[in-house]
Amino acid sequence: MKGIIIKGIGGFYYVKSEDKIYECKARGIFRKDKHKPYVGDYVEITIDENEKGAIEEIYPRKNILIRPPISNITQNIVVSAVVQPAINLHFVNNILVYSEHLDIKNVLCFNKSELINEEQKEEIKEHFINTNYKILFTSVKEQTGLHELKDMLRGNINVFSGASGVGKSSLLNSLMPQNKAETGEISSKIERGKHTTRHVELFELEENTFIADTPGFSNINGAQEIELEELMDSFPEFSDLLGQCKFNSCVHDREPDCVIKEAVENRKIASSRYSSYIEMLHSIKATKKY
């Protein structure tokens, strides 16, 4: 049977296959090959007469996170509060870059939207011009934007990332009111941030739709995780312009005749996004000694 690992504790893996969850052990061949199963892995299992399972095969992964250990994430919901706390654009851009690097789709969710007006919402959108990111404004207090968010989650293995205090806990409890104990567990782990030694778990929102408990994901520094040549590819608004600069080696910093810098001047790329790019560029150069 084919299934997905939703939890792993103490050498046991809990695999959801069709409508049941089976406690499984991994075959010794995986330990021998140092190919450890991860939460999120799609696997082939066999079941004995006692309904205990064995993992026989791990299917190829779309992506893998080492911290926290999870695979096959398809969508990252990057949550910010519109105010209280104020949006930290560089923090958000770091998470977006890391997700792009892992081929994870990004959705920008701006919470507590009852605290701002339509003009302020448009100003927020301007920071992400030409990125093609889906942007949602949600309010748990007024119960707005939640149906749209739930629709966006459908069919994905989702992570929720963002700074503490932005309302991830409230959003999760609104999305899964029937499982408040579970979502409270997810939320508290997410908010604890760096406690990445705790086990990772997938919680099923509906069929083929999961929310991943990923403690520590929000503390990722995108610039530490990627190489210099990958950075510009992790800004989707750059994609149509790459290769058009005067110099083939242009990294869009101090070089003349740079189409990326020209696009920033013409407001086709947000200056806040470009500032984050430059900060990450310098960080990569300093860290990796290019």
Domains along the chain?
Answer: 2-60 (2.40.50.140), 70-219 (3.40.50.300), 224-288 (1.10.40.50)
- Structure confidence at residue 194 (pLDDT): 42
β-bridge pairing 105-111 and 134-137: parallel
Classify residue 250 by burial, with Cβ atoms within 10 Å: 0-12, 13-18, 19+.
Answer: buried
Q: Which of 216, 227, 268, 220 is nearest to 251 (CA)?
A: 227
- Structure confidence at residue 147 (pLDDT): 95
Is position 187 annotated in a ligand binding site? no
Is position 36 annotated in a ligand binding site? no
Is position 245 annotated in a ligand binding site? yes
Residue 232 scores a pLDDT above 80: yes
The confidence band for 191, taking pLDDT boundaries of 50, 70 and 90, is low
Classify residue 231 by burial, with Cβ atoms within 10 Å: 0-12, 13-18, 19+.
Answer: buried
Q: What are phi and psi of 29, to 5 degrees?
A: -60, -30
List b or e across 148-174, with b for residues whose CB sees 16 or more CB atoms inside 10 angstroms.
ebeebbeebbbbbbbbeebbbbbbbbb
- Structure confidence at residue 22 (pLDDT): 96
Is position 165 annotated in a ligand binding site? yes
For residues 252 and 258, what is the distance between their CA atoms, to the nearest angstrom? 6
For 233-276, write each residue's pLDDT tens digit. Answer: 999 999 999 999 999 999 999 999 999 999 999 999 999 999 99
The pLDDT > 90 percentage for the chain reads: 69
For 86-115, write each residue's pLDDT tens digit. Answer: 999 999 999 999 999 999 999 999 999 999
CB atoms within 10 A of CB 221: 15
- Structure confidence at residue 216 (pLDDT): 67
Is position 71 annotated in a ligand binding site? no
Helix intervals (H) in 67-108: 89-101
Contact 116, 171 (CB under 8 A): no
Q: Which of 139, 112, 135, 115 is nearest to 124 (CA)?
A: 135
Q: What is the pTM of this model?
A: 0.89
Residue 166 scores a pLDDT above 90: no
For residues 213 and 73, what is the distance between their CA atoms, to the nearest angstrom? 11
- Structure confidence at residue 197 (pLDDT): 40
DSSP state of 112: -
For residues 207 and 156, what is the distance between their CA atoms, to the nearest angstrom? 10
For 63-72, write each residue's pLDDT tens digit. Answer: 998 778 899 9
- Structure confidence at residue 167 (pLDDT): 82
Is position 164 annotated in a ligand binding site? yes
Is position 101 annotated in a ligand binding site? no
Is position 109 annotated in a ligand binding site? no
For residues 82 and 162, what is the distance between their CA atoms, to the nearest angstrom? 12
Is position 162 annotated in a ligand binding site? yes
For 8-58, write each residue's pLDDT tens digit. Answer: 998 899 999 998 999 999 988 787 777 889 999 999 999 999 999 999 999
Is position 169 annotated in a ligand binding site? yes
- Structure confidence at residue 168 (pLDDT): 84
Cα-Cα-Cα-Cα dihedral sign, residues 206, 210, 215, 217: negative
Is position 234 annotated in a ligand binding site? no
For residues 157 and 138, what is the distance between their CA atoms, to the nearest angstrom? 20
For residues 91 and 81, what is the distance between their CA atoms, to the nearest angstrom? 13
Mean pLDDT is lowest, of 3-7, 98-102, 134-138, 216-220, for 216-220
